[in-house]
Amino acid sequence: ELVARPTGSIEPDNAWLKLKDARSLKGGSRGVAQSLGRWREERAMRSDVPPRRIMSDMALLGISQRVPKSVEDLASTRGVDDRLLSSEFCREIMNAVRDGAKRTVALPKTESDEVDKHSRPALTLITAWIGELARKNKIDATLLATRSDITALLRNEPEARLAQGWRATLVGDDLKRILNGEVGLSVDRDGHLNLISAIN
């Protein structure tokens, strides 16, 4: 008999990235988080229950941060309850910890990582200006430009949507003037942003 799997399930090796504080983990803790995250996902699929029913996020993070070397260490880890210390679970968890501690796991790059560090302040500035333009034109800011669109413009990608068509007219040209230092942004009494000439 075939059992239907839930749609939209996470790739087990990437499950740990959904944890709130995943990016704060360092060194071997990342490997442990990845290994435990995979174990939790696979266990949940076999048992047909949500992953958090197998192990809470708090326990997964606590174990990853501590990297317990013994059952005693595991038992005193934040978020670990008696159920996780049962013989079956405990053995599987410790195996996952040992396996993960040997791994070197790099964090996947985010869009802000792809932007030159000198351009990152501009990313914040431009995002604010787009929000102001969206307010003035009474449209959703993401229709004007997404974060990916802004990143593409900052990287001078030839296919950047902000460099062509109506977006260039409404948004892109002003953004280029901001980036070139021709204009700056000021805040009026109502808290709204306005372009001001940067040329004396």
Residues 119, 165 within the same domain: yes
Residues 75, 135 within the same domain: no
DSSP 33: H
Sign of CA dihedral 173, 174, 176, 180: positive
Residues with Cβ within 8 Å of 130's Cβ and at least 6 positions away in sequence, in order, are: 141, 144, 145, 150, 171
Q: What is the pTM (predicted TM-score) of this model? A: 0.52
Q: Domain span at residue 168? A: 111-197
Instruction: Give the residue among 89, 105, 120 at the shortest CA–CA distance from 25.
Output: 105
Q: Is the pLDDT of residue 2 over 50?
A: no
Residues 75, 52 within the same domain: yes
Mean pLDDT of 31-38: 92
pLDDT of residue 1: 35
- Residue pair 194/185 in contact (Cβ under 8 Å)? The answer is yes
Residues 56, 137 within the same domain: no
